């Protein structure tokens, strides 16, 4: 049985992520324990809040070395959700400039309005257009709507890491992938059928 560990770093929304994973057939646990990370089959980093607070909490727990060992050495599938995707970047510019995990090259910047009809934060349903075929989107149509809540977006340094984009304030990166590391700006746990399909696909990655 897969051991899905949702990383507990004080960034909210974990209950809905755990419930969604259970509905998708997983048996998730919420933990920041080294022993749980060492025996995890899948790792998920959720997040609601700011890049700054997320990284502060993450660093205070001292869990980066063990997670990097699992993700880079043992190739455990990893999924970052919302702020959990953003802190994969090299740096973020929310309330100042802060270093991220640096697992996927890029930076996180605030949206700039392209017209007066656009509101920041970007809240609600919007389409995700697939830029590449990837197993995490198997069985989901490109252009399906997912649920978003955010004011900042990931700017990838390397376009090969972009697997999904969304039209808002021009166009922004809404899904990334680098080897066994995935990130989604939207909330799959709040995105009904397409979101649950994505989570099931993630859990099926060996």
- At residue 1, the pLDDT reads 55
Kindly give the pairing relationship between strand 172-178 and strand 162-166. Answer: antiparallel
Average pLDDT over residues 52-75: 95
Q: Which of the residues 24, 82, 94, 122 is marked catalytic?
A: 82
Q: Which of the residues 42, 122, 150, 187 is marked catalytic?
A: 187
Residue 128 pairs in a beta bridge with 144
Active site residue 169: no
Active site residue 38: no
- At residue 11, the pLDDT reads 85
Query: What string of DSSP letters covers 48-60?
Result: -S-HHHHHHHHHH
Domain ranges of the chain: 4-203
Contact by Cβ (8 Å): 180, 76:
yes
What band does 92 get if pLDDT is binned at 50, 70 and 90? Answer: very high
Q: Which of the residues 94, 122, 161, 189 is marked catalytic?
A: 189
What band does 49 get if pLDDT is binned at 50, 70 and 90? Answer: confident
Q: What is the mean pLDDT of the chain?
A: 95
**Percentage of the chain surpassing pLDDT 90?**
87
Residues whose CB is less than 8 angstroms from the CB of residue 177 and which lie 6 or more positions away in sequence, other chains included: 132, 134, 136, 161, 163, 183
Tokens representing 198 are: 């994505």
The pLDDT tens digits for 142-183 are 999 999 999 999 999 999 999 999 999 999 999 999 999 999
Contact by Cβ (8 Å): 157, 201:
no
Alpha carbons within 13 angstroms on the beta-carbon side of residue 70 total: 23
Active site residue 156: no
How many CB atoms lie under 10 A from the CB of residue 25? 14
Tokens representing 197 are: 């399909």
User: What topology is assigned to 4-203 in CATH?
Assistant: Rossmann fold (3.40.50)
Contact by Cβ (8 Å): 19, 65:
no
What band does 203 get if pLDDT is binned at 50, 70 and 90? Answer: very high
């Amino acid at each position: 049985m897969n051991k899905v560990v949702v990383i507990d770093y004080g960034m909210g929304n974990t209950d809905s992520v755990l419930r969604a994973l259970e509905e998708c057939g997983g048996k998730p646990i919420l933990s920041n324990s080294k022993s749980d990370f060492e025996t995890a089959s899948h790792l998920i980093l959720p997040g609601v809040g700011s890049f700054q607070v997320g990284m502060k909490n993450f660093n205070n727990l001292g869990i980066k070395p063990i997670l990097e060992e699992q993700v880079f050495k043992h190739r455990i599938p990893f999924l970052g959700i919302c702020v959990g995707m953003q802190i994969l970047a090299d740096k973020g510019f929310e309330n100042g400039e802060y270093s991220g995990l640096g697992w996927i090259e890029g930076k996180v910047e605030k949206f700039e309005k392209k017209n007066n009809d656009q509101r920041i934060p970007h809240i609600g349903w919007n389409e995700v257009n697939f830029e590449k075929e990837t197993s995490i989107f198997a069985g989901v149509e490109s252009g399906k709507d997912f649920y978003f809540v955010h004011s900042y977006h990931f700017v990838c340094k390397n376009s090969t890491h972009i697997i999904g984009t969304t039209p808002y304030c021009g166009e922004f990166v809404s899904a990334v992938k680098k080897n066994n590391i995935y990130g989604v700006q939207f909330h799959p746990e709040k995105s009904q059928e397409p979101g649950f399909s994505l989570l099931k696909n993630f859990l099926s990655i060996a």
